[in-house]
Structure 1
Amino acid sequence: MSSAQTAASGQVPLDNLSAFKSPSANWSIAGSAVGDFNKANTINKKDGTGVLVTIPGKSKNEDIFTNMEHGDIDLSFDFMMPKESNSGVYLQGRYEIQLTDSWGKDALTNSDLGAVYSRWDESRPNGQFGYEGIAPRLNVSRAPGLWQNLRIIFQAPKFDGGKKVANARVVAIILNGVTITENAELTGPTRGSAFAEEAATGPLRLQGDHGPVAFKNIKYNTKVDPRIVDGSRRVWDDDDKPVTIDVKGEPVVFRSFVDIPGKRVTHAASIGYPHNISFGYDLDNGAIYQVWKGGFLDASPMWLSRGDGNSKALGSVINLSDASSLAVLDDVNAAWPDTLASLVYRPKGYELDAQGYPTFKYIFNGVHVNDKVTPTEGKSLTRVISTDGPAPKNVYARAAVANDITEVSDGLYSINNFEYYVQFDKGTKPVLRTTAKGKELLLPVKNTDKGTSVQYTLIW
């Protein structure tokens, strides 16, 4: 009986390489890793433990296999890849789930992040050697160099007396909290399998001969719920069907309550743009409180039963601060206010431009403010905060507040240990400061001949 069958759950230790079979020189243990956002296939690491890194080089590069073997498995791990990198994880060493830089892509294939890679048979007609690959149903991939999470729920093939009686099956693939594949049958090993034949168990295999990648928090549970596998779905009553709001070719602005950690935003606007990129805006504070990729909104709580006016994001969400984005500080070390008095901040609604992009308007300290957020396809959101007249003295805009903020290149900052980035234009000089609440990234609002404005880009 394999170790996976005797232990219901576990974690692959990453204090050294002893959990793996004969690791090649391209694999190492590190304390941290940084995948380059701009430079292809470049990753750097620092000494320590807890992170598994492969950096293919000129010497022999090989995949790595765990000593642990598994049958059914609920696997979860965090991973980081630099720009244009390509890798994969093989369940039982046989069935590849693709790891690659798919940031911002629209048309997904079975070679994109989270896909089930294709099988391969060169006896098939020319041009049809690859078959049965499964593309993700939507793209929630994050930018190069950011940590992502992949969860794979897998049921191994079943055998009776040496004869296969049930195919392997991917119950679900969940990328960054969003289900991108469900109930996928695997009739045999995918291309590049380490073993010619299928079996009840096999090792976990991580690809090491393609591009650089880092892994951490590799956890597993060998209990898989078979009820999900048979394709069953909840049967909704006629008055209990989910109510979703989709973006179909043009921006959508939707008003509702939205619950975020610690509070309810009572005057929220959810904005969905084409290419599956969205954000939430608090009209009471002039704040972007969350951004996400994937689906737009689940508005079921607004309409089901008696309803409570609430909707929630359907995609992979990053929570931001709900405090005002502007403040007057006596000096650069003064604390950022949690709330603003009604005499300081008064909302004035929003206007739509010809493309349907909203500009939120409010009065701050007697000055009219315009706050516009525009998308770059499915990759980023650029925010421009401007005033109709001269700004008051000592006004700052806060671009980020987090436990950790680090400048990784000129004008590019990692937020919360590579959860997302904030990018500033060349020549912009933000203030990075440490406060009792963590770190903050501030932009002084300066009056110029061209007007008063600040700009930064959220990338994830």
Structure 2
Amino acid sequence: MDTYNQIPKILSFVLCVLAFAQVKAQEQKGPQMTPEMTEFWDHKVPIISPGEITENAAMTAPSDALVLFDGKDLSKWESVKGGPAKWIVENGVFTVNKGTGDIQTIEKFNDFQLHIEWKVPENITGKSQFRGNSGIYLQGRYELQVLDNYNNPTYSNGQAGSIYKQTPPLKNAMRAPGEWNVYDIIYTAPRFKEDKTLFSPGRVTVIHNGVVIQNNTQIKGHTPFTGLPKYTYHEKGSIKLQDHGDPSEPISYRNIWIREL
């Protein structure tokens, strides 16, 4: 057989096979795609009214939020010791009443967006951890640190914006004493298996004065002062604010609201 003379026939056969395969592929692809095929017109996004910037708030609550402090009273809060919250409400803010203990929300939450504004006094004294120390405990057990770290060095995983004794903030975005700081917190609660062991850890994103300081950070467990964090089974939990017993002037809070996610 003259192999050389067979090459044109072989090429012709290969081209026929490729053409047939292309036709079959076109048939399997179905109709030509149009832009409208990937547009979701049936899904309606709920409409809410966003908050506003005012003289007394960095951002007021949107229409679908639960207001936890409206500047008038602590009716949404209680003492962790039992009974009413005993912190001091005055001029639209409330302030730690040293020695009365931590306070927590009466209502409990899982995943949420939390907005909270806080400041230390202009004439604050002390240094390191004794300078306006408080804390925001997510579900009552995972602490986001509150502290004056404007020209106040301390251990990095204990400064403002840290997940206390776990993860330092990415940046120090503190405002000077006497000025209001703002935390916007997006929190995903941990999940547990049927046998109450951990399935997935909690995660948190924190924006401090417009700056991302925790970016989908994994929470390693509860917040012990001594020892290592760990998870134990729990269900919904409160937002808890800490009375640290700081000997310097105490911290103040205002404009607190939450949106369940």
Task: Please classify the TM superposition score into its range, dividing by the shorter chain length.
Answer: 0.5 to 0.7
Rounded Cα–Cα distance in structure 2 between residues aligned with 1:198 and 1:218: 27
Matches within 5 A, 1:327-406: none
Rounded Cα–Cα distance in structure 1 between residues aligned with 2:154 and 2:102: 29
Aligned to 1:53: 95
Report SS of the residue matched to 2:172.
Answer: coil
1:178 to 1:16, Cα distance in 2 relative to 1, 3 A: same
Residue 55 (structure 1) shift? 3.1
Q: Which of 242, 247, 253 pairs up with 1:207?
A: 242
Rounded Cα–Cα distance in structure 2 between residues aligned with 1:207 and 1:69: 17
| Corresponding pairs, count | 179
Aligned to 2:13: none
Higher helix share goes to which structure? 2
Residue 205 (structure 1) shift? 0.2
Is contact 1:108–1:139 with CA below 8 Å preserved after alignment? no
Report SS of the residue matched to 1:165.
Answer: strand
Aligned to 1:234: none
Residue 184 (structure 1) shift? 1.4
Rounded Cα–Cα distance in structure 2 between residues aligned with 1:137 and 1:96: 16
Aligned to 2:9: none
Residue 199 (structure 1) shift? 1.6
Report SS of the residue matched to 2:239.
Answer: strand
Q: Which of 145, 160, 166 pairs up with 1:98?
A: 145
Residue 221 (structure 1) shift? 1.3
Report SS of the residue matched to 1:141.
Answer: coil
Aligned to 1:113: 160
Q: Which amino acid aligns with 1:213?
A: I
1:165 maps to 2:221: no
Report SS of the residue matched to 1:70.
Answer: coil
Report SS of the residue matched to 1:136.
Answer: coil
Report SS of the residue matched to 2:157.
Answer: coil
Residue 174 (structure 1) shift? 0.7
1:143 to 1:169, Cα distance in 2 relative to 1, 3 A: same
Rounded Cα–Cα distance in structure 2 between residues aligned with 1:115 and 1:176: 14
Q: Which of 47, 51, 66 pairs up with 1:10?
A: 66
Aligned to 2:134: 87
Rounded Cα–Cα distance in structure 2 between residues aligned with 1:93 and 1:191: 12
Rounded Cα–Cα distance in structure 1 between residues aligned with 2:225 and 2:112: 21
Residue 185 (structure 1) shift? 1.1
Aligned to 1:325: none
Rounded Cα–Cα distance in structure 1 between residues aligned with 2:253 and 2:164: 20
1:176 to 1:108, Cα distance in 2 relative to 1, 3 A: farther
Residue 107 (structure 1) shift? 7.5
Give unmatched runs, 5+ long, in structure 2: 1-62, 125-130
1:30 maps to 2:90: yes
Rounded Cα–Cα distance in structure 2 between residues aligned with 1:163 and 1:8: 33
Rounded Cα–Cα distance in structure 1 between residues aligned with 2:225 and 2:177: 25
Q: Which moved more, 1:180-189 or 1:70-79?
A: 180-189
Aligned to 1:222: 260
Is contact 1:189–1:198 with CA below 8 Å preserved after alignment? no
Give unmatched runs, 5+ long, in structure 1: 1-6, 32-49, 119-132, 224-460
Greater RCO structure (CA 8 Å; 6+ sep) = 2
Rounded Cα–Cα distance in structure 2 between residues aligned with 1:197 and 1:9: 29
Rounded Cα–Cα distance in structure 1 between residues aligned with 2:159 and 2:173: 11
Rounded Cα–Cα distance in structure 2 between residues aligned with 1:218 and 1:178: 19
Aligned to 1:69: 108
1:139 maps to 2:181: no
Residue 103 (structure 1) shift? 0.2
Q: Normalized against structure 1, the TM-score is what?
A: 0.36
Residue 198 (structure 1) shift? 3.8
Aligned to 1:365: none
Residue 196 (structure 1) shift? 8.4
Higher strand share goes to which structure? 1
Which structure has the larger Rg over C-alpha atoms? 2
1:23 to 1:137, Cα distance in 2 relative to 1, 3 A: same
Q: Normalized against structure 2, the TM-score is what?
A: 0.63
Q: Which amino acid aligns with 2:88?
A: S
Rounded Cα–Cα distance in structure 2 between residues aligned with 1:28 and 1:198: 34
Report SS of the residue matched to 1:12.
Answer: strand
Rounded Cα–Cα distance in structure 2 between residues aligned with 1:135 and 1:187: 13
Rounded Cα–Cα distance in structure 1 between residues aligned with 2:191 and 2:254: 30
Aligned to 2:223: 190
